[in-house]
Amino acid sequence: MIGIIRYGAGNIFSLTAALERLGIKYGMVNSEEDFEQFDRYIIPGVGHAGAAMNKLQQTGMVEKIKSLNKPTLGICVGMQLLTEHSQEGDAAMLGIFPIQTLRFADSAQYKVPHTGWNRVNNGKENPLFKNIPAGSHFYFVHSYFIEFNEAYTLASADYSIKFSASIWKGNFFGVQFHPEKSGRFGEVLLTNFSNL
């Protein structure tokens, strides 16, 4: 069963609605004691990465999250929390991945935030992207991106610059897009995660 880590960063209704639609069981992780009830975790998040990290620190769950050895998926800001540092709020993140969260440069051609559907290129074989064709489209809403690093990038996308659309290290995964708003292939990804 999936434990959704609750720390006050963003509306999780669309995520829980998608899991219910798919028949995937879930519950809420509100404190360190709750972790034992679940066999995998999702860290959701929308909004400001620095503020989200501050809220997460206030829960007292930071060290527990860093020590997890079960499948853990960060979505959007939840993925950015897994990095070392974010330019948003000039804030230290969880440091699980030794990579940076950076801001897109605004231009006439590339408006910030990057909003809408974009092609995702699967770079590595991984069960998270099982039955998802390379080049499938997913839904993004973000002003900050995770730098592309071959060692940790599971899938990439382009928006003025090549960036990590998904990252992977051991039992930790992240997706910058919103699978719960990404139609059929977003649902396939959530199902894949529930089966890891």
Identify which of 34, 25, 26 has the alpha carbon closest to the alpha carbon of residue 7. 34
Question: Which is nearest to 94 in space by CA: 63, 69, 55?
Answer: 63
Domain count, the chain: 1
Establish whether 178 is a catalytic residue: yes
- Catalytic pick among 48, 88, 142, 180: 180
Residue 35 — φ and ψ, nearest 5°?
Answer: -60, -35
Looking at residue 56, which CATH number applies to its domain? 3.40.50.880
Report field, pTM of the whole predicted structure over 0.75: yes
180 flagged as catalytic: yes
DSSP-derived letter for residue 195 is: H
Phi, psi of 31 (to 5 degrees): -155, 170
Q: How far apart are CA 111 and CA 1, in angstroms?
A: 39
Of the residues 48, 114, 142, 178, which is catalytic?
178
Which residue range is the domain that position 96 belongs to?
2-195
* Residue-level pLDDT at 11: 73
| Residue 79 main-chain phi, psi, to 5 deg | -70, -40
36 is catalytic: no
Does the CA dihedral 66-187-123-195 come out positive or negative? positive
What six digits make up the tokens of 170? Answer: 């051991």
Choose, from 48, 76, 114, 142, the residue flagged as catalytic.
76
Q: What is the rounded distance in angstroms from the CA atom of residue 37 to the CA atom of residue 72?
A: 14
For residue 106, the model assigns a pLDDT of: 86
Q: What is the pLDDT along the chain (196 residues), one digit of tens a residue?
A: 999 999 987 779 999 999 999 999 999 999 999 999 999 999 998 889 999 999 999 999 999 999 999 999 999 999 999 999 999 999 999 999 999 999 999 898 999 999 999 999 998 899 999 999 999 999 999 999 999 999 999 999 999 999 999 999 999 999 999 999 999 999 999 999 999 9
